[in-house]
Amino acid sequence: MDLMGANGLIGFDYTFRRPDGLNDDTWGDPRSAFLRVRANSIEGGTSEILRNILGEQVLGLPGEPRVDKDLPWAKVPRN
């Protein structure tokens, strides 16, 4: 983005374009790739959640205490 200068800020419309096939180059536009990388970290789950999953399931560390673990979803207290 720094190399593109002001051109990195113009001419990009944020329109989602579905690839035609599996081999399409979805990272062809560096502006789109820059924004997708930020969104992927949010969509895939935060780093903290992924660390908890790795710690509990891979390393066998104890999970965080949960008082609602045995409750049905409808009975979980909410704010």
What pLDDT score does 57 carry?
Answer: 93
Q: Are 38 and 46 in contact (CB under 8 A)?
A: no
Q: What is the pTM of this model?
A: 0.35
Direct distance between the N- and C-terminal alpha carbons of the chain, in angstroms, rounded to an integer: 42
* Residue of 31, 1, 2 whose CA lies nearest to 17: 31
Q: Are 8 and 1 in contact (CB under 8 A)?
A: yes
Condensed to tens digits (0 to 9), the pLDDT of residues 46-59 reads 778 888 899 999 99
